[in-house]
A and B are shown apart, each in its own frame.
Chain A
Amino acid sequence: MISLDRLKKYQSAVIDRFETDKLPMKLIEMGCIPGNEITLLHQAPFKGPIYLKVDQSYLAIYKETAKNIIVRLIS
């Protein structure tokens, strides 16, 4: 189990739980829900946003948001 911000490029994981109850609703609406698969596709330079595929959505968020999402790596 690691937090989402530590996922490496092209690594996939399953969302396990959230560390905060202040996770933005929009993220949940986009399919960021425990049990769904999540893949890190790109990382912007200079500690910029990360680009994820979660369920059917493609989205970009900041690492500070990703820190609150705990994922289980798919081996």
Chain B
Amino acid sequence: MSQSIKVALLGNPNTGKSSVFNVMTRLKQKVGNYPGITVEKKEGVCKLDDDFKARIFDLPGCYSLNANSIDESIVIELLLNKKDSDHPDLAIVVADVENLKRNLLLFTQVKGLGIPTILAINMSDQMKKRGIKIDVESLKKELDTQVVLISARNNKGFENLKKAIVQYKSISKKEIFDISTIEPNYFNDLGKTFPKESLYRLWLLIIQETNFTKLNRKRVTDTSEFRTLSSSALKKLQQKETVRRYILINEILRKTMETDPSKATGFGAALDRILLHKVFGYVIFFGVLMLIFESIYDFSSIPMDFIDISFTQLSNWYKSNLPPGNLTDLIAEGLIPGIGGVVIFVPQIALLFLFLALLEESGYMSRVIFLMDRGLRRFGLSGKSVVPLVSGTACAIPAVMATRNIENWRERLITILVTPFTTCAARLPVYAILIALVIPDVGMYQSLTLMGLYLLGFAAALVSAFILNKMLATSSKKAFIIEMPQYKIPLLRDVLYTIWEKTRSFIVEAGKIILAISILLWILASNGPGKNFSNAHQIVSSQYKDLTQSELDIKIQSHKLENSYIGHLGRSIEPVIAPLGFDWKIGIAIISSFAAREVFVGTLATIYSVDSDKQETIKNKMANEKRPDGSPLFTLASGISLMMFYAFALQCMSTLAIVRKETNTWKWPVAQLFAMTIIAYIASLTVFQILQ
């Protein structure tokens, strides 16, 4: 009969726990979110032998069961709640051989819960080099469990680990640290009040000071027979517990582990001296940033152009090979370009996550935080926010995804909300044509304007971060403590898996929203109410008698767009946008460009019946546009006003979709959309009214 057990994988951050998970599950994993929060939930299956499987849960990394963060409380909740459908039959604590002492702190706590707990010592391939010797047999006795040496880097030791899992029933459930020794009277009381329960489990409930969890803590702390302690007394007890556990651990390690200090390498220290240097450290980091930026801005354009051309050709092929009709149009002009609009982001996302995975896995990211934290902290951002903010200059989609690596939710949220202000590549075509149109081509005015727009983007991001930092209430001020892990060479398998997983989740989760909105926009643009739309062909041909067929087609297209639903929408918002210096045609272009900002130029080209992708032609046509009173439409005032609008407005459905995915709610993307549109409106209004 086939059997299946549930196994929880636990461990400190930076122990290679995820690599262990990748090896055990052979990369067959499900990644989701814990309900209501944005911590990743990972599950996979490990085949132990022919009829024995283990469902493995890769729990968030944690240093202890003391619940200092949301991540840790997820772990505690799962381990304490026997009714949870994912409650494990067995726990595996993954430890790093070079940090065994600290890792054992977590181990002794998990072992205290009455769940069989295996210790898997990872990176055992490093033992010889580091002069570490471990007496595994006596460690098994001391810890009263199975101990397995593994190496996720070399795929070693996993057969032994699987054997240990199969025999999980023979593993002792006894604790090795008696919690009552830290304060005998107090725990005596507790035991008398709840005689049938484990003291350590009760203790964990009591110290859940921040009630992240659904667990009922009050049933313990509100029991009148039981003497409760003040929170500072509890904190002192918690400290005492940790100190006592370390005394036990030191004793165990003295008997079972030998370290030759002469083998300690100075490699990491030497690298730190360069990478954290007060001058070179920053020079190197900005070099790395430039490389990342170049890749997602420049190198990715090659595959992106290829994707663009392929989808256009596919759409044309479809149109010319299938019978004309509404369904063909929907597929050729709505669906295929819509899917293309999702796939086009893949090169940028893959490249950015290649770099992010390398930065994280190598240990360099912690050094970046060390260098950058001071400057960004006053804006409520993390040292890690630098990468999303700079990547945002290429595209906000991968940049928002890159905030995943910021542990603190508040800092992460602020970064997500302000990143779309940075000047992304899609704004460039809009800026380029407007600058060419309204800024005189003398001296350096044009390039200075463009530079000013880039700086404005960064300034808007920082200022809004500063304001958000003041606005978003802090529940508790967290002290800054980050681990500076040892430098490691990233594992190719893990890096590639990260890229695959991020790309996949983008296509599945954000892709469907992008596709839905783009099809909706297409339907609105290619359908219209009344005869003006349906009889476009007749109306235009009777108006222009002596045009060639292709000239006539362009006029018809323009007429259709003006009378489509989007055309009507554009007209109806004219009273609102007139104070900004925009007419209804610009209104149509603004609505259409919600698909992507660069669509603005193409839409104006259609409206002005320009049969060319050439910027020069479109520009000349725009320069000749007149208002009803005969004055030119595009002046310095209306041009800069439009630039301001595109600088600040969240004119991008893909950004909305990705923010929805990353924050796990519609609340933030909708708030972001409103706030940015209002800021854009006020900025444009002010500029136009002053310059006019």
Query: A residues within 8 Å of B by Cβ?
Result: 21-31, 33, 41-42, 44-49, 51, 55-62, 65
Contact = CB atoms under 8 A, between A and B. Distances in A.
Contact of A46 (B64, B246, B276, B374): B374
B272 A65 contact: no
Contacts of A45: 278, 371, 374
B480 A61 contact: yes
B38 interface: no
B235 interface: yes
Interface string B94-108: 000011011001000
B409 interface: no
Interface string B243-268: 10010000000000000000000000
A30 to B, nearest CB: 7
Contacts of A33: 242-243, 246
B68 interface: yes
B464 interface: no
Given A22-B235, A44-B374, A65-B480, 11 more contacts: A21-B232, A27-B479, A29-B64, A41-B272, A46-B374, A48-B373, A49-B482, A55-B102, A57-B99, A65-B479, A65-B481
Nearest to B243: A33
B579 interface: no
A51 B68 contact: no
Interface stretch (B483-491, B639-647, B670-678): B483-491
11 contacts: A23-B239, A24-B68, A26-B64, A26-B68, A27-B481, A29-B105, A33-B242, A48-B373, A48-B374, A59-B482, A60-B366
Given A57-B99, A58-B486, A62-B480, A21 B278 contact: no
A61 B498 CA distance: 29
B450 interface: no
B375 interface: yes
B663 interface: no
B66 interface: yes
A49 B374 contact: yes
The 4 closest A-B pairs by CB, nearest first: A48-B374, A58-B484, A24-B479, A45-B278
Given A30-B483, A62-B480, A46 B235 contact: no
B63 interface: yes
Contact of B481 (A26, A44, A48): A26
Chain B interface helix/strand/loop/mixed: helix
Contacts of A60: 366, 369-370, 480-482, 484
Contact of A56 (B101, B374, B481): B101
B246 A56 contact: no
Contacts of A58: 483-486
Contacts of B242: 25, 28-29, 33
A23 to B, nearest CB: 8
Contacts of A65: 479-481
Interface of B: 63-64, 66, 68, 98-99, 101-102, 105, 232, 235-236, 238-239, 242-243, 246, 269, 272, 276, 278, 366, 369-371, 373-375, 478-486
Contacts of B63: 26, 29-30
Contacts of B66: 25, 29
A39 to B, nearest CB: 11
Contact of A30 (B102, B238, B370, B373): B102
B370 A49 contact: yes
Contacts of B246: 31, 33
Nearest to A25: B66
A58 B295 CA distance: 32
Given A49-B480, A58-B486, A28 B272 contact: no
Nearest to B483: A59
B484 A51 contact: yes
A33 B239 CA distance: 9
A47 B479 contact: no
Nearest to A24: B479
A42 B272 contact: yes
A20 to B, nearest CB: 10
A7 B650 CA distance: 48
Nearest to A36: B246
Contacts of A29: 63-64, 66, 102, 105, 242
A51 B480 contact: no
Given A25-B238, A65-B480, A51 B276 contact: yes
B370 A57 contact: no
A61 B105 CA distance: 21
Contacts of B483: 30, 57-59
Nearest to A50: B370
B370 A48 contact: yes
A58 B272 CA distance: 12
Contacts of A30: 63, 102, 481, 483
Contacts of B98: 56
Nearest to B242: A28
A61 B278 CA distance: 17
A62 B374 CA distance: 9
A44 B373 contact: yes
A25 B480 CA distance: 12
B370 A25 contact: no
Nearest to B363: A58
Nearest to A31: B102
Contacts of A25: 64, 66, 68, 235, 238-239, 242
A31 B480 CA distance: 16
A38 to B, nearest CB: 14
A75 to B, nearest CB: 20
A10 to B, nearest CB: 10
A44 B99 contact: no
A28 B239 contact: yes
B484 A59 contact: yes
A62 to B, nearest CB: 5
A23 B235 CA distance: 9
B66 to A, nearest CB: 5
B370 A44 contact: yes
B375 A46 contact: yes
Of residues A41, A42, A55, which shows the largest number of chain B Cβ atoms within 10 Å of its Cβ? A42
